[in-house]
Structure 1
Amino acid sequence: MTGPLSGVRVVDLTAALAGPYSTMILADLGADIIKVEPPGGEVTRRVGPYPPSDDGQATLGGYFQSVNRGKRSIVLDLKTPEGHAELLELVRTADVLVENFGPGVVERLDISYDTVRQVNPRLVYGSLTGFGSTWSGESPYMNWPAMDITIQAMAGALSITGTEDGKPVKIGPGIGDIFPGTMLAIGVLSALLEAERTGQGQQIDVAMFDAMLSLCERIVYQYSYTGQVPKPIGNTHPILTPFDVLEVKDGWIAVAATTQLRWEALCRIMERPDLIEDARFRNETCRVEHRAEIRTLLDDWSRDLTRAEVSEKLGGKVPFGPVNDIRDIFDDPHARARDMLVEIDNPGSSQKAIVAGQPIKFSRTPSKVGTRAPLLDEHGAAIRTENRSPATERSH
């Protein structure tokens, strides 16, 4: 691997989406991710969709490929003395351990931070939980299980997503998993830097609830400042306008001309310079007060145009974008030019898997989607051999 984390070894005990997404980031940045799986494999190995098989054998599913690319797999039964001992041997040569077990599991398996730090005091130990660990702030929900939709609900995201007169709507991507996973990766990198200075590791706790509340930051200050409870307002913005999704002849577009200069530019493009001098729209505050009139004006302008025509008029001049589905994105040159649609192999199938690329770019130590996801225990023998070799003794 060529990324900036080349040489960093991570023991990955995570499953599902939040934890594997976090270690996926580290893998793309060059870390050696040793994915420790139970006998039978991690649960998402059994989740599709699957590509057509050339020989009738099972292939790697899209879910598993997407967030486990670039990792190596070893099977350990942590419930057995042998598996537990092997894990501690991996920890001895590791820089990082990441886990997202449910409440109380690491204690039952005797792999808590207090246990593994005895083997490797430099170890950075990342924990991703639903509502936090006891040491970082005990919550009444500490023992509750957590999923993307329940966290979106409890941390406020659902309360501001949807139309004014509709039911709460979940944010489309699994943001309740993915954002906490991203925050955990930031925590791991910060602790690694600190460990280089001090020679001491530490534990990191990212609660899914906490991460999502931080993502919903504006509802916190809005309520604190005004005493008003923010509600769903569709595609608009509570304190900026125009900021909306408009219908055109062949689909939908998004426009955000919220500053004075961009509002004036939009008025000229619409061939309505008179709106610039209109007292209702003379500044940002006035425009928010008259958002309904602005929406009517924009609808009257956009509904007779196509996406391509609007793009020609607005592209590069005011913040604008077509509402793309994934087929549109596959056809758009931007995503491939930026290495954001990446082909990887899929054993047993002639059909390549395509996964989302790594958005963090480096000038000297490039990040990249390295290899496909591993087959179950594909690297077990090699990892065991490495761990027995004196070369793996880390001299920090």
Structure 2
Amino acid sequence: MDEIRKVLIPYDLQFFAKDGEGGEKTEEPTSKKLSDARKEGKVAKSKEIVNGIALLGFFLALRLFIGFAGIRFKEIFNWIYSIIPDIVRMNGSGLTIVTTTTLFRNLLGKILIILLPFLIMGFITGFVTNLIQVGWKPTMKPLEPKLSKFNPINGFKRMFSKESLVNLIMALAKLFLIFYIAYIDIKDQANNLFILYDIGLKTALSFIFQIIVDTGMKISIVYIILGFIDYAYQRWKFRDDMKMTKQEVKDEWKNTEGDPQIKGKQKQKMLESSQRRMMQNVPQADVVITNPTHLAVAIVYDNTKDEAPRVVAKGEDYLAKRIRETAKENGVPIVENKPLARALYATVEVDETIPPELYQAVAEILAVIYTERNKAG
């Protein structure tokens, strides 16, 4: 046994796994992924809350507008009975397709007037509930046809998924609670139901209507409570589905911010190109002011183009050395002035004129150089 223990070498299986490829989604979703999902119409919301509040709104509308609906229904029956003699008279000669269509159109218009308050209540409750859940950002993406929706394999996966199981449990819970609440309400009113034969029709209808509305509102409230539970689950599920692998986070960052290596190479190339252009200006400089070895600043003054001396090249360390070497090769004077070199390097960029506070110091150096150049000439 001891010999076997000596042969066994402990190792970590995660060492052989490639980071992010087929890995678990452990990273929280980025704002970009959530924004893209929102554009696709993928949001966390519960249809149960919408259905529950819409159902509650329907029963409230029923309680508020039942008188209005009753009067309208009575008017419809009176209208139908009033036109029966005319219909009987027209049957055989005057009852045409046009006449029949007109009658049905009038009947449909009267029924729509009765249904209008309930339709408005349903629209308002559905719109406001969805707006509170997901906010206002309409998109047509979910309505676009996708072939993946017709894939039978994906259909079977959805049928036997965890979401389908949760939906089944919610449906069974709703059915149980609906039947239980209805049973309790009817049981409590059982004694009153037995006397329906002994009371007037109007009183009996009012009593039945009261039972239906009260039971419906209780069912709606339970439905809303289940909806809030479902909403909490949908938010958790949506967040869990939106999680990303480490590789996905890296890929998204590269796509949005750019590959750091590529950006670094591009920046390096731009810097090299800028330095080449700058070094080409050194031979035309009038003077190079140094630190003496740490900094170097090349200055040119053309009174026909510039109002003041202009910096055409500057650098530190290795670049300062190259500027000095190029200046020597092309016979450009090199002047050591530590304070002036530091001031020029810190305050003036390439192709910019020097500030007024440095005019005097630079002018003195240029005056000496021009004097020596005239003597040599």
TM over 0.5: no
Q: Larger % of helix: which?
A: 2
TM-score (norm 1): 0.20
TM-score, normalization by structure 2 = 0.21
Greater strand proportion: 1
Question: Which structure is larger by alpha-carbon Rg, 1 or 2?
Answer: 2
